[in-house]
Amino acid sequence: MSTVRTPDPVPGWLTEEELAAARRKLPMVYVQAIPVVLDPLGNVVEVGLLLRPNEDGEMVRSFVSGRVHYRETIRAALLRHLEKDLGPLAMPQLPASLTPFTVAEYFPSPSQSGLTDERQHSVALCYVIPVQGDCEPRQDALQLTWFTPEEAMDAQVQAEFEGGGGDLVHRALAHMGWGRC
């Protein structure tokens, strides 16, 4: 089976075998970022969603996501994954406070969280990250599509997520005040 995941930028951190063994025994810590474009009043006008192949080669929607490495700060992990997935000219605006809009819990089988990742039990700190530069997807992301919030909430777009990930877009937009009258 060929793999489509991004090669580990820090070789030697864990081998593929060690990572698989760790995933079977303990939760992994991730950061996830939903890139957005804001208007001058701070309202979300566009949501950036990545298109990438999953392990079966099917095209799925996702957002910036990746593990936090040992001895790496949350801020450094966010920046590393934003650059990896959106390119070096995205100009992400990291928040002053590192309080996530939600903490997502993924389980290898269906659970009360509604989020699944068949590889592992993981915990993800989730952020909405405004970007001001040019985004060019890199690594395993084939395309970055900018949707209006209404388009991002469309049932067809939501169905393109796997493992319940579309729910995090709902949570992110609610956190940003989208949909209030």
Q: Given a cut of 90, is residue 35 above it in pLDDT?
A: yes
Could you give the percent of the chain with pLDDT greater than 70?
A: 91
Of 33-37, 109-113, 173-177, the least confident: 109-113
49: helix, coil or strand?
A: strand
Q: What is the pLDDT of residues 36-94, one digit of tens each?
A: 999 999 999 999 999 999 888 899 999 999 999 989 999 999 999 999 999 999 999 99
Percentage of the chain lying above the pLDDT 90 cut: 64
Q: Quick check: 14 pLDDT over 80?
A: no
Residue 1 has pLDDT above 50, yes or no: no
At a CB cut-off of 8 Å and minimum separation 6, what does 105 contact? 111, 113, 115, 121, 122, 123, 124
**Structure token digits, residue 128:** 């909405």
Average pLDDT for the chain? 88
Give the residue with greater pLDDT, 112 vs 172.
172
User: For residue 127, how many other CB atoms are within 10 A of its CB?
Assistant: 25
Q: Is 132 left (phi over 0), alpha (psi -120 to 50) or beta?
A: alpha
- Indicate the helix (H) or strand (E) that contains 126: strand 122-130
Domain ranges in the chain? 26-176
Local confidence band at 117 (pLDDT 50, 70, 90 cut-offs): confident
CATH number, domain 26-176: 3.90.79.10
Task: Report CA-CA distances (Å) from 122 to 20, 23, 32, 40, 131.
Answer: 13, 8, 12, 36, 26
Tell me what pLDDT residue 17 has. 87
Which is higher by pLDDT, 23 or 39? 39
